[in-house]
Structure 1
């Protein structure tokens, strides 16, 4: 672990501050900073006054020296790590226009560019690939957190809706049972009331009929009495003999 960490720290010292890759044909400036020969040439080609891209020290002439010691040290480290020649690059990692490594992200155009493309994006904001990756990963982590928070909120709403649905179903069933029970009681009450009214009507009918039967009996008796009286009167009228008529009249009168 310690050896691996030391190797990483050493490798960081071998990184070009311009292209952010292992120094390729490293040259050293008078200020002591090292760069790839092609990188410092490219930077100085775009500057009127040569200067160090790292400490900004200016020079009267374009002057540097090949750092053979550093180049040998880089080769040794590469051999220990089993790395291939840094000149061997995948086509997808190169700028199609300049055939240089894509090491920057133009935030304004949202595109990967090489250092040669920078002048074409004047005034734009740039990020190194690593910083861009970290930024987008942070955005993804933020989006993931927001989505998980939304999912949690919707799951809570789902549970609440399911609970409310269960409550509505339970309340509906309880109300249905209550209605059935109340109507059963009402039916029983109405049936009892019906039977009571019918019995009351029968009782009243019986009383009225009884009274009417009594009245009818008396009427029949009166009719019989009248009929007897009529018969007597007719009998008296049938008598021809005056003396007999008077005797019958007197007899009937007593």
Structure 2
């Protein structure tokens, strides 16, 4: 029954060489069956008479291993990322394309993780150069010779293959891509550093311009200082107005006009500064806009350079340098000397203040003219006292002129008595008239002289021996030395700065107020005042023509008649 049900399998009648039903089946010593012709041909082509039968057990093991590997690969593929738009896909994957991990420059193929494994394990494939995945690997082939572009021609600045080097670039300077890659990478890193430095400089320039552009606070501070100055001037004007109670209506009009000029000058100054501020802000905005545009261009170039520098692909880096021309920073403006200088406001302020000072000077001149007219009303007739004159002095017959005699005149001079009133060492002389109250004024011509002393003294001064001019010794005087060195002999002495050398000097004294003032009569200019003096004795006009200085100072001091304009 069992024999009736047994049906032999077709596989049992198949030759394992031709895989067909046996023809003239034979059995070899190992017990395996083959077609007679099949085993004979097999042995004829092999030196050893071995059984060609496949080890079925090992074959099954191999089949199971292959199935397991395929299942593992399938599972691994499901875990890997599917290639997205913009990413390089695996060239080996069929169906769903996985994301490539590397590209082989030898195979010109991109591989996912699974298909990359042979390049990581097989010794022959390990020698291939792997890079980050890139597209269009076919562009790495020479279009003329269909060979990999492995070299770089420095002469023509282009990538070439081996045949190109032998044929078209035989005498050119040709180096491996890796060598040129390293050189270009160093140049690009230097370019990147320069670009970053340029960006930093322009950012600093923007901060500088913004800082210099923020001048509103500075302007307000400047305006405040000028307002305080104006207040000080107005205060001085107010003080002068208090003193002008004795002046006529013209003086009041002058002060009012002065205040109006100050206020008008302030308004003009503020408007001018604001207009300049607007211009400065527009200029700063234009500079900032231009700098920001350059920074944008530099940052764009920096991004391009950084992207190229990240590439490990020698050919890609060199071709990018050639195509994008990023080896050097883009052309930019030299900002070294460019700046927004708010100091120009100082010029504006100085000019405005100068104009104000000019106006003030004119007003003050009018005030001084009025003041001079006022003090000239107290003019007195002064004559020189020969009893006080130094023996070497020569006085005119009318007592209005005095100078120092020459050597001959000294020899012929009179034997004058050495009375107590006479100066013995100092070439000086006093006026005959004395004053112990009220106000008085006189004028002396000093034209043509290089040295002179002039002022008033108290009656009890020392007239013998060495004399020290100064209020502490009873002298309120000014002098000239060395043609243009003017001093007020105060304690300490005050160096005077005069616009022009006075030709005629006016001296005014207010006994009760303790005031001694000096004026340049022709220029109607104020020279100096001793104030807060305490007079308790008679005061006398004082004159000293000083020595002749070898004839250079021979002109006399002349008491001039006062002419009130």
**Higher Rg:** 1
Tell me which interval the TM-score lies in, with the shorter structure as reference length: 0.3 to 0.5
Higher helix share: 1
Q: TM-score by structure 1 length? A: 0.39
